[in-house]
Amino acid sequence: MTRERWGNFVLALFVLITLGALAAQGLALWESFSYPEPARESHKPDSPLGKLTPIERGKLVFQGAGCLSCHMARLEPDSPKVGFPVGPSLSNAGVRRDEKWLREHYIDPHKLVPGSMMNSFSYLSSEELDALVAYVKIFNLQFEPKEEVKLVIPERFTQEQVERGKALFTSQGCIGCHIIGSVGGPLGPNLTKAGRFGRTDEWQLKHLKDPLSVYVLGPTDGIPWPMPKFDKLSEEDLRALVAYLQSLQ
Ligand code: HEC
Ligand code: HEC
């Protein structure tokens, strides 16, 4: 091998080694730019969704599933009321219904409430259903809208009857289970606008004497504490209560 050829060989070798080193570096650089594969299951414990508590997760499911297209609710205790009033306000649903009822009701509303307009959410995963139950279970008085009490006495009742009914509402303990304005307990429906529910006086009387008799389906489903019978009250007291209820507008 001549000296010149030897020189060329060394040069070629040098160029090859340099190119190899550069290629290796380039590859390392390329790798550092490419992202790791996204986790396929979003509920992996270390994924952003997996880090949420069931309640936080339930709030997302609630918003995503379109519950607000039929229900009014507050998403946080002090936030404004959002949604549409096709179904009942969910403000105190968490106190009124137990976990088992809530879960079953999402899967098959018609089974628990025949003729219900609510659609089934059986397409949700078991985990999403649990999260939804956990979220709706926190709906309590703090989520309740505070409404103004407005009394408009229908002509068939007297001011006296309404005042007597109002006093009975407190003395008979109705207030312990029903909210009127901003006072009351959450076990029964909010009665601030009871006069607008479209109930007749006869329905109200019958309901007060025996609440279960007027429901198609027993209202005790998932309700821990159903409304007691008020059949020991005089006819006059019952009429006074009805006068008060029907004046709440
Ligand atoms: C198409 C309208 C509609 C949609 C959408 C809907 N609901 Fe309902 N919902 C109703 C109606 C009507 C009722 C009353 C009859 C019944 O209990 O099934 C109801 C009742 C309820 C009750 C019982 C309240 C109580 O105190 O008795 C809960 C809780 C509830 N819905 C939660 C939800 C949640 C959570 C979603 C979303 C996953 C949802 N709903 C979506 C119409 C709807
Ligand atoms: C232990 C709790 C409790 C007490 C006390 C109670 N209620 Fe109720 N009330 C309920 C529950 C629960 C329901 C609803 C059942 C359901 O959701 O199907 C109800 C339903 C009602 C309704 C029906 C509203 C409607 O039109 O759908 C009226 C009116 C009512 N109560 C008035 C009264 C009056 C008046 C008193 C006192 C004399 C009273 N309640 C005492 C728990 C109670």
Each residue's pLDDT tens digit, 80-130 = 778 887 777 787 788 888 899 999 999 998 888 777 788 999 999 999 999
126 and 90 assigned to the same domain: yes
Give how many domains the chain has, as a whole number: 2
Residue 184: CATH number of its domain: 1.10.760.10
User: Which of 113, 143, 173 finishes a domain?
Assistant: 143
8 A C-beta contact, residue 49 and residue 57: yes
174 and 120 within one domain: no
Provide the pLDDT for residue 202: 94
Same domain, 173 and 236: yes
Residue 10 lies in a domain: no
Question: Is 31 inside any structural domain?
Answer: no
Does 229 reside within a domain? yes
**Ligand 2, atom nearest to 168 Cα:** 38
Residue 136 and residue 194 in one domain:
no
Which residues, listed in sequence order, are joined to residue 83 by a DSSP beta bridge?
72
In angstroms, the CA 91 to CA 190 distance is: 9
Q: How far is CA 30 from CA 17, 135, 165, 170, in A?
A: 20, 45, 80, 75
Q: Are residues 187 and 137 in the same domain?
A: no
Distances (CA, A) of 15 to 8, 11, 65: 10, 6, 63
Number of Cβ within a 10 Å radius of residue 95 = 21
Say yes or no: 138 and 165 in one domain: no
- Of the residues 143, 175, 204, which one is the last residue of a structural domain? 143
Closest CA to 240 of 185, 168, 141, 170: 168
Q: Are residues 124 and 168 in the same domain?
A: no
Mean pLDDT of the chain: 82
Of 89, 116, 143, the one marking the end of a domain is 143
Report the pLDDT value the prediction gives residue 16, as an integer from 0 to 100.
62
Judge if 79 and 137 occupy the same domain.
yes
- Asked whether residue 201 is domain-assigned, the answer is yes
Q: Whose CA is nearest to atom 15 of ligand 2?
A: 219
Domain shared by 197 and 116, yes or no: no
For residue 196, the model assigns a pLDDT of 82
Asked, for residue 36, whether it belongs to a domain, the answer is no
Q: Say yes or no: 222 and 177 in one domain.
A: yes
- pTM for the model stands at 0.67
Q: How much is the CA Rg of the chain, to the nearest whole Å?
A: 33
What b-and-e string marks burial along 154-190, b requiring 16 or more CB atoms within 10 Å of the CB?
Answer: eeebeeebbebbbebbeebebeebbbbeeebbbbbbb
CATH number for the domain spanning 60: value is 2.60.40.420
Tell me the residue range of the domain where 185 lies.
Answer: 159-247
The answer on 58 and 139 residing in a single domain is: yes
Which ligand 1 atom sits nearest the alpha carbon of residue 67? 37
Region of 154 please: left (phi>0), alpha (psi -120 to 50) or beta: beta
Encoded tokens for 130: 């649990």
pLDDT of residue 39: 43
Residues 158-196 have pLDDT tens digits of 999 999 999 999 999 999 988 898 888 878 888 888 888
Cα 221 to ligand 1 centroid, rounded to whole Å = 15
In a domain, 205, yes or no: yes
Structure tokens given for 153: 């006495």
Residue 150 lies in a domain: no
- What is d(CA 33, CA 13) in angstroms, rounded to the nearest whole number? 30
Residue ranges lining ligand 2, Cβ < 6 Å: 169, 172-174, 176-178, 187-189, 191, 194, 197, 199, 204, 207-208, 215, 219, 223, 225-228, 230, 241, 245
Residue 55 has pLDDT above 90, yes or no: yes
Tell whether 71 and 128 lie within a shared domain. yes
Q: Is residue 231 part of a domain?
A: yes
How far is CA 137 from each of CA 4, 96, 201, rounded to the nearest angstrom? 88, 9, 34
| Paired tokens of 1 | 């091998």
The first and second tokens of residue 144, run together, are 């309740």
